[in-house]
Amino acid sequence: MNLINQPALKLSITTFVISIVHLISCAQPEKTVKMTTPMQASAQESAVPGTTETATFANGCFWCTEAIFEQLNGVISATSGYTDGHVKNPTYKAVCTGETGHAECLQIVYDPAKISFDELLEVFWETHDPTTLNRQGNDVGTQYRSGIYYHNEEQKQKAERYKVELDKSGAFNKPIVTEIKPFSIFYPAENYHQEYFENNEGNNPYCTIVIRPKVDKFRKVFKDKLKK
């Protein structure tokens, strides 16, 4: 994947250098795997009361996004899955048809004492193209839409403010199409999707051609925020 630099907007202390060009699609034949159960907002956020918070982002293929966010210091878990659809217990195959209404997403549980929601937003905006409707590079379909699914009013306000500021700044050549909606439900993806890059870098060309360059770029830009 080649990264094309664009004009940047300074948010907090980080300068955005945003660019995405995908080479091949992440859609692959589905494996037969038993689905896990959905995670409701209340259950997820109360797992460790008072010590963790949750963020839910859709920004393209979750194989890519998981490989990035799980490396951030303060991120406790990054789970690939599906959100914002109208079909219960969706499978990967069903989501790929675009008929279930779900977006491929990442459910991030993090320690706010180590990393803030603002910092997670910085990574979100910088590691995908939020101006392309229902696609990221060669991955096309409503399941690849850009979205922030907020868990509380503070997350909503921050996401909306950042979106407005980025548009006003001209950081992108086109308007941002990222949807900002309240979190409803999260279905973890099948087990073979979890830690996909780590487990398949030597087996799937997509990992080498698309994910590895993206991860390397991310590690250079956010080197001070990585786990030691």
In our burial notation (b when 16+ CB lie closer than 10 A, e otherwise), range 59-70 reads bbbbbbbbbbbb
Strands 146-150, 53-59: pairing kind: antiparallel
Is residue 6 within 8 A of residue 173, CB to CB? The reply is: yes
Burial letters for 27-58: b for 16+ Cβ neighbours within 10 Å, e otherwise? beeeeeeeeeebbebeebbeeeeeebbbbbbb
105 is catalytic: no
CB-based contacts of 219, cutoff 8 Å, min separation 6: 71, 226
Q: Check 26, 61, 96, 105 and give the catalytic one.
A: 61
DSSP type of residue 213: H
DSSP code, position 105: E
φ, ψ of residue 121 to 5 degrees: the values are -65, -40
Q: Fill in the DSSP letter of residue 26.
A: -
For residue 102, what are its two tokens?
A: 């779900």
| Active centre residues (catalytic) | 61
